[in-house]
Structure 1
Amino acid sequence: MSQKPKAALADQHDTYRGNMFPGMFVLLSEQLGVSEESLVRLGLGYNPARNCWVFPERDATGEIVGLTYRAHDGSKFMEPGSKRGLTYAFNQDFEVGERRYSSGKHNWIRVAEAGVLCPVCGRPDWCLVSRDDPADPAAVTCTRNSGGSKRELKNGYLHILKDSGNLGGRGRVICDSELPVLIVEGQTDTAAALDMGFEAVGRPSAICNTSELEKVVNGKDVIIIGENDETVGIPGMEKTFINLEGKCKSVIKILPPDGSKDLRSWKNRFDLTADQFLEYVEEHGDKGVPSDILPDATGITIAKAWIQRERTVDGYPTVRSYKNTWVEFNDGKYKLVEKEILRGEVYRFLDDKFYVNETKQVKEIVPFKSSSRLVSDVLDALYYFGPITKDPPLWLKHNRSLPNPVDLIPFKNGILDVRKYLDGEIELYDTTPNLFTFTAIPYEFNPDQESSMWLDYLDDIFDGDEEKINLLQEWFGYNLVPDMSYEKLMMFIGRPRSGKGTVLHALSAMLGNEQVCSTSFKSLCGDFGYEPLIGKLAALLGDAKVPRSADSAQALEKILQITGADPVGVNRKGVRALPQVYLSCRFTMAMNLLPNLPDQANALEPRTNLIYFSNSYIGREDRTLKRRLQNEASAIVPWALEGLRRLRTTTEFTVPETSAKTMDDLRTMTTPAYSFVKECCVAEGENLVVQQDQVFDAWVVFCASRNMRAGFRPSFSQMLMSVCPNVMTDTIIDKNRSIPVYRGIELCEWVVKEVLGRP
């Protein structure tokens, strides 16, 4: 049905209101629990044909746009041709433009009915005077005289007799009040608010359009009272709040206490007064948008909300991008996290969330409809929080008062400042996402712990050799901190069942499994050999087997790169490669035999610590020892830190005397040039000189006898000087001929005679 004209609805309401008499107000007042005065102010009428009460609903200008019928059983329905509007006590001093003087009994009364004469033409019959004061009206519609009129109306000519009758109107459609305006739902709650002394506006429903409401209360202090109904009452309150926020002087929302559905039941249950109500609002009122309602549906808004509410610790986001991968802070350290895991978390976050969808007229609260594209937008927006481009350990937000992250060891009970500890002061900082590290020791630090079991075991396997125990202690301490400055690796060499694997297991237990990577020469040679080493303190090669020649050279190159703290490129499965990474893992290898690794440049030996395990426990193994030492892991830490203290004091690792021969054997096996010098040359003494051609010829014979390739003279010259740093190249002149020579070395006599065939 089409919308009825407003004037027709106004006339119809005027008729229904005229049907009321005092006893009828009393009847409905008692039924609803509101005052007769409030019902009168709301314009209550009665339709005898339908046997229903009638309430007018208005727009923001005060025009009646709809009539609501209330049956005696409480059911409600609308007059055909009506539309929903607002319920409020109309300010009779407010009129706007032509509407003020439109036809209808609510505006005019005939002079004959009022018993007065027309102030313009003096006749007592058909002219109209304004209802505000018929004896002294502000305006007149004269049916005869047009002179001096403002305009022609339907029933005559409009004459304005007083300033109060101007066409601009006065005040607002609701009366001014020092108290806030209450926003409620429906006519009865509006009446209850009026009874308490407030001006109020009733919405036709919880989720109605708020555009007209905004015009009525614009610039005022407002309190929105929701109904205790999660289906529509609370969402309706929130919708009203977000639409009025910023348009009113202040906006507060409040729900009735438990047991009260709405304002009317609350008022009647507790005989609520305005002061009591305002005191309750002061204590329980809410001026914010609920956390499950986001201001919009953009990826950056969702990302900020998710990070702030679920992924923030001490003001730092706990999910970050690190070199095209994702990391999350948990248990005192960062860990790599699969993108699919984060996508699932975003889906769960959005599952019960809403957003504000703003149109030209109104803001609606809409539930999120998660999609793959939306979730991808959220993850892309996480780059807003700043990708991490440098390698750990580092402070993400640094200041000069913070200690060097290389000197920090995160434990479960805090971050130990190693530098202070070594100086005799124990300080544990709170764990924080500001420290970007992939490592954290998985138990609490206790400086008073000591493991007699561990010390007895070391004394047994090393026969009390303090130099070996000291070197191992220094190595354990060095592995606790992400410090690569000493550029060393460790080899455990010895017969089977000599304790190498048990010590390796103890190192892993002390650091914690997540701080350690078990690998092999073969794995290191693979395309993704570096990837498992990211974020590890130690790389362990247990029972290491040297691969074939080509792979062994490649494995050695990779180990020396990492040990020397050089940057490496890391290929990763299914993810973009990292072009430059500084890894902080120390290599510890356990072998029965010395590795025959091709080290022509003698780079391995200077970077190697070596401990020889001389005892064998075959047939008398303690198969419970590893498990028992696992339980002693935390007690090994103070012992290891004492080793680190000694290392940083002396700046050198202890070199056991018993390891000297084994180290010499390692050089002999891995560096052929060293073997050549050892067997065929004299490199100590003054004024030693030898022709380069002679040395290279001897080298060629030496290689042939061992089925090795001699290579080219320049390469040999570099290898020779790498194993004999004091050897220098020079040129001498003999009979006007330049002869390249080495100074600081010469061939043994037997080599000159037997190999070169010279006297």
Structure 2
Amino acid sequence: MSITETDAAGQPPDGDDPLLPKHRADLEKSGLLPPVLDEHGVYSTVDSDVVAGLLGLERRDTRLAPALVLPYLNADGSPSDFHRLKPDTPRRGEKNRTVKYEAPRGRGNRAYFTRVGLAAVDSPGAALLFAEGEKKALAAAQAGYPAIGYAGAQSWKEPGSEDLIEDLRGIDFAGRTVHLVPDSDYATNPRVTEGTARFGAALKAAGADVRLVALPAGRKGAKQGLDDFLVANGEEAFADLLDAAEPPHPVGAAMRRAAGLVTPEEAADLVVSAHTEDGLPLLRYWHGAWYLWDKTRYRQLDGDEVEAVVMKALKPHLDGLTVRRKGDVLMHLRTKTRLGTHVRPGDWLVTPPVDWDPEDLFAADNGILNMVAYAEGRECFIPHTPARFTLASSPVPFEPAAARPDRFLRFINGELFPGRPNEVRLLRQITGYLLTPDTSHQVIPLLNGAPRGGKGVLLRVFTMLLGEDAVISQDLESLSGPFGLEPLLGKSLMAVGEVQPPNSKAIRAKPVERLLTISGEDSVAVNRKGRTAVNTRLRIKIVLAGNGRPAFPNNSGALAHRLLPIRFLKSFAHKKDPKLDRKLAAELSGILLWAVRGWIDLRENGGFAETAETKRERGRLALLGNPLRHFLNECCVVKPGAVVPKETLRERYRDWCQTNSVHALDAVSFSKELLETETEIDTGQNRIKPGEKLTETFRGVCLLSP
């Protein structure tokens, strides 16, 4: 839903449609048309008090509205006071599982009678069809089948017994053919397998001829229900499944099998099914590491955790796996959960919602924000979902009405950049740019200037906004090592807290090459200790910070053009606020909103609002990166046949260095770098004037007039 004051106030939707547009669209995806929805009274509510009343809550829970409401009928066809609800923002229940549907508290289970199903109930001996879920029952009824819905694998029975619920006990099953249509995970989820088998046994005991309709898995092995199958394959294909239906497996046939009778692949299937939500696997294997969905993100597991996850999933079903068989299970599990090397953090693992480009998304603490949709006033916020390969989420909730971050704004405007609104705007755009996976601007922000000038505070703010799991802090030299890129996998920000000044030897060519490759969105081979190298495009941004101006050795000057410098002019060495981080942490929701608006400004501006100071500073950095190239451009002409005495050129070079505050190379280094910088220049001996003795010269270059 769009986050607006109207929605937050719980106002009902405009017009006479009983369904919100989002709910109508969701039901249409299940193939459900207005006639069957109207016939069964399906509607939407945005009122938390209505939700509380329907669910029998003592107090309202604003998180459960808006919701889709599915009214139940009594066995005589009259409306009941029992409803099940599907909230837009589902809560988390036991074991952090999403509670997709809500039922009235303390009321037990009910059967979901469709009108066509009730007509068959009133006709002795008529066939019946039980579908797992209300939408599936409606889809079957819409296709003309005498459908009754049951809410889940255990919802057909009274708690603590094998007795059918009261709604079903009133049906005469003698002589009826009853088709059970569970979701496709019947084949892989032992809990569904067992529950369906027990349901079939109870119906058989009541006199029914029970047949199981085995729905196949959906695309790429995804779980699908009867509604999905009808939409994808049509009624004729479903009729073929009905004809092929057989009695369900005996009770317990799929449960507690000896380890020797279960193949490692079957055991791997059990592990996958134990970690599946809404048909989506929650366990993933990517770039040689295991990841498990953890409410808001996929968390990387270490070796011991992986084994614990496997054994916990298998414990209810298997007796005693040997170490060798555990290894076999893991081998099959890797195959079943492996993500391709083309998948990058933030990508969708299934078909995404319309206009939800992964490059535009920010994973906040309370859900996923579509920045473009927010900027355009459209539906912009959805719950976290394992359908997106999120490796890190912010600990900061997105709150459209967050309080103004007064201490942070005073720090930025009044302390860091007093009288420099253009720098504040640029910083805001940079902060917004860090929020999403988009790296298309190909810039490297550089925070440099006065020591103790607030640069470290800003890096910590960036980390607090993105979350510690999203940020890697290291120095540039670490990029030179054979495994220097490995820590960057899965991260969204590399923060370099202290770039070395010009006279340091720490910045060598290899780190510069890596900075250019990463910021340029090029593919790079990432070597990993003890594992196969991967070739990938790292979806990571880099922010540099330092006191002095760094001198990056780069003859082409390409890196200087990527830098986006902001100068810090004031030092707070003697005015440090030791509680500043804590004060800013209390304003993070407001700072996040400030950054989001910076991203909107960046988008509307079509690029970063570079200041005149930014452009001058970039020129200075380019000069430091290759001063000899700048000397040649300003003072010389490369010209075939030209000759200049070595000492004359060196003297002019020394004067230029003094004027530009650049360290001058000695004679040997000057000659060596000159020939490397400009290949058209060579050395030799020439007579500058006829009759003079030979002089050491540079050939192919001459000096411009001063």
Structure-1-length-normalised TM-score: 0.53
Report the counterpart of residue 507 of structure 1 in structure 2: 462
Q: CA deviation at 1:576?
A: 2.5
Report the counterpart of residue 363 of structure 2 in structure 1: 410
The alpha-carbon distance between structure 1 residues 323 and 543, as it changes in their structure 2 partners (threshold 3 A), is closer
Equivalents in 2 of 1:692, 1:403: separation in Å? 61
Question: Once structures 1 and 2 are overlaid, which stretch shifts more, 589-598 or 417-426?
Answer: 417-426
Assess if the C-alpha contact under 8 Å between 1:467 and 1:657 holds in 2: no
Task: Within 5 Å, give how 1:260-409 maps onto structure 2.
Answer: 278=206, 288-289=251-252, 292-294=255-257, 296-309=261-274, 311-354=275-318, 368-382=319-333, 383-390=335-342, 391-398=344-351, 401=354, 403-409=356-362
Q: CA deviation at 1:420?
A: 1.0
Assess if the C-alpha contact under 8 Å between 2:270 and 2:313 holds in 1: no
* CA shift digits 1:505-532 (9 cap, x unpaired): 1111111111111111232222322122
Which residue, out of 180, 201, 213, partners 1:252?
201
Report the counterpart of residue 457 of structure 1 in structure 2: 411
Q: CA deviation at 1:432?
A: 1.7
Equivalents in 2 of 1:695, 1:451: separation in Å? 62
Equivalents in 1 of 2:680, 2:287: separation in Å? 38
The alpha-carbon distance between structure 1 residues 694 and 343, as it changes in their structure 2 partners (threshold 3 A), is farther
The alpha-carbon distance between structure 1 residues 718 and 601, as it changes in their structure 2 partners (threshold 3 A), is farther
The 3-state SS of whatever aligns with 1:594 is coil
The 3-state SS of whatever aligns with 1:508 is helix
The alpha-carbon distance between structure 1 residues 466 and 378, as it changes in their structure 2 partners (threshold 3 A), is same
Paired amino acid for 2:366: N
Equivalents in 2 of 1:510, 1:346: separation in Å? 34
Task: Within 5 Å, give how 1:128-277 maps onto structure 2.
Answer: 252=201
The 3-state SS of whatever aligns with 2:574 is coil
* CA shift digits 1:396-449 (9 cap, x unpaired): 223683521111112232211111112233511232222123232223211222
Q: CA deviation at 1:473?
A: 0.5
Which residue, out of 603, 610, 620, partners 1:655?
610
Equivalents in 2 of 1:442, 1:569: separation in Å? 31
* CA shift digits 1:270-290 (9 cap, x unpaired): xxxxx9x849999xx996437
Report the counterpart of residue 516 of structure 1 in structure 2: 471
The alpha-carbon distance between structure 1 residues 704 and 509, as it changes in their structure 2 partners (threshold 3 A), is closer
Report the counterpart of residue 6 of structure 1 in structure 2: none
Assess if the C-alpha contact under 8 Å between 1:600 and 1:672 holds in 2: no
Q: CA deviation at 1:664?
A: 2.7
Paired amino acid for 1:454: F
Paired amino acid for 1:370: L
Which residue, out of 444, 455, 465, partners 1:489?
444
- RMSD of Structure 2 on Structure 1 (CA): 3.9
Equivalents in 1 of 2:665, 2:417: separation in Å? 41
The alpha-carbon distance between structure 1 residues 707 and 519, as it changes in their structure 2 partners (threshold 3 A), is farther
The 3-state SS of whatever aligns with 1:480 is coil
Equivalents in 1 of 2:401, 2:645: separation in Å? 61
Assess if the C-alpha contact under 8 Å between 1:667 and 1:674 holds in 2: no
Equivalents in 1 of 2:283, 2:613: separation in Å? 50
Task: Within 5 Å, give how 1:717-736 maps onto structure 2.
Answer: 717=678
Equivalents in 2 of 1:573, 1:515: separation in Å? 21
The 3-state SS of whatever aligns with 1:532 is helix
Matched pairs, number = 445
Paired amino acid for 2:256: I
Equivalents in 2 of 1:446, 1:404: separation in Å? 21
Task: Within 5 Å, give how 1:664-679 maps onto structure 2.
Answer: 664-677=619-632, 679=634
Equivalents in 2 of 1:563, 1:693: separation in Å? 40
Equivalents in 1 of 2:624, 2:478: separation in Å? 23
The alpha-carbon distance between structure 1 residues 677 and 652, as it changes in their structure 2 partners (threshold 3 A), is farther
Task: Within 5 Å, give how 1:690-729 maps onto structure 2.
Answer: 690-691=639-640, 693-694=642-643, 702=653, 705=666, 708-711=669-672, 715-717=676-678
Assess if the C-alpha contact under 8 Å between 2:472 and 2:487 holds in 1: yes
Paired amino acid for 1:485: S
The alpha-carbon distance between structure 1 residues 716 and 384, as it changes in their structure 2 partners (threshold 3 A), is same
Report the counterpart of residue 397 of structure 2 in structure 1: 444
Assess if the C-alpha contact under 8 Å between 1:454 and 1:636 holds in 2: yes
Equivalents in 2 of 1:719, 1:558: separation in Å? 28
Q: CA deviation at 1:564?
A: 0.9
Assess if the C-alpha contact under 8 Å between 2:628 and 2:674 holds in 1: no
Equivalents in 1 of 2:445, 2:617: separation in Å? 13
Which residue, out of 579, 591, 612, partners 1:624?
579
Report the counterpart of residue 528 of structure 1 in structure 2: 483
Task: Within 5 Å, give how 1:13-52 maps onto structure 2.
Answer: none
The alpha-carbon distance between structure 1 residues 317 and 455, as it changes in their structure 2 partners (threshold 3 A), is same
The alpha-carbon distance between structure 1 residues 696 and 583, as it changes in their structure 2 partners (threshold 3 A), is farther
* CA shift digits 1:483-542 (9 cap, x unpaired): 110100011111112111111111111111111111112322223221221112211111
Paired amino acid for 2:340: I
* CA shift digits 1:19-62 (9 cap, x unpaired): xxxxxxxxxxxxxxxxxxxxxxxxxxxxxxxxxxxxxxxxxxxx
Paired amino acid for 2:336: Y
Assess if the C-alpha contact under 8 Å between 1:412 and 1:442 holds in 2: yes
The 3-state SS of whatever aligns with 1:340 is helix
Assess if the C-alpha contact under 8 Å between 1:676 and 1:699 holds in 2: no
The alpha-carbon distance between structure 1 residues 718 and 473, as it changes in their structure 2 partners (threshold 3 A), is farther
Equivalents in 1 of 2:280, 2:540: separation in Å? 27
Equivalents in 2 of 1:253, 1:286: separation in Å? 13
The alpha-carbon distance between structure 1 residues 327 and 710, as it changes in their structure 2 partners (threshold 3 A), is farther
Report the counterpart of residue 520 of structure 2 in structure 1: 564
Q: CA deviation at 1:388?
A: 2.7
Paired amino acid for 2:492: L
Which residue, out of 360, 366, 372, partners 1:419?
372
Paired amino acid for 2:267: I
Equivalents in 1 of 2:310, 2:529: separation in Å? 24
The alpha-carbon distance between structure 1 residues 393 and 568, as it changes in their structure 2 partners (threshold 3 A), is same
Assess if the C-alpha contact under 8 Å between 1:313 and 1:432 holds in 2: no
Report the counterpart of residue 388 of structure 2 in structure 1: 435
Q: CA deviation at 1:691?
A: 4.0
Task: Within 5 Å, give how 1:458-473 maps onto structure 2.
Answer: 458-460=412-414, 461-473=416-428
The 3-state SS of whatever aligns with 2:564 is strand
Assess if the C-alpha contact under 8 Å between 2:629 and 2:677 holds in 1: no
* CA shift digits 1:172-191 (9 cap, x unpaired): xxxxxx9xxxxxxxxxxxxx
Equivalents in 2 of 1:718, 1:437: separation in Å? 48
In the alignment, does 2:553 pair up with 1:607?
no
The alpha-carbon distance between structure 1 residues 633 and 573, as it changes in their structure 2 partners (threshold 3 A), is farther
Equivalents in 1 of 2:560, 2:285: separation in Å? 39
Assess if the C-alpha contact under 8 Å between 2:442 and 2:520 holds in 1: yes
The alpha-carbon distance between structure 1 residues 410 and 251, as it changes in their structure 2 partners (threshold 3 A), is closer
The alpha-carbon distance between structure 1 residues 695 and 593, as it changes in their structure 2 partners (threshold 3 A), is farther
Paired amino acid for 1:669: L
Q: CA deviation at 1:663?
A: 2.7
Assess if the C-alpha contact under 8 Å between 2:286 and 2:338 holds in 1: no
Paired amino acid for 1:339: G
Question: Once structures 1 and 2 are overlaid, which stretch shifts more, 700-709 or 322-331?
Answer: 700-709
Equivalents in 2 of 1:719, 1:328: separation in Å? 58
Equivalents in 2 of 1:294, 1:386: separation in Å? 27
The 3-state SS of whatever aligns with 1:570 is strand
Structure-2-length-normalised TM-score: 0.57
Assess if the C-alpha contact under 8 Å between 1:314 and 1:432 holds in 2: no
* CA shift digits 1:291-328 (9 cap, x unpaired): 7435941111111112212x112211111221222222
Q: CA deviation at 1:647?
A: 1.5
The 3-state SS of whatever aligns with 2:431 is helix
Assess if the C-alpha contact under 8 Å between 1:350 and 1:370 holds in 2: no
Equivalents in 1 of 2:645, 2:438: separation in Å? 41
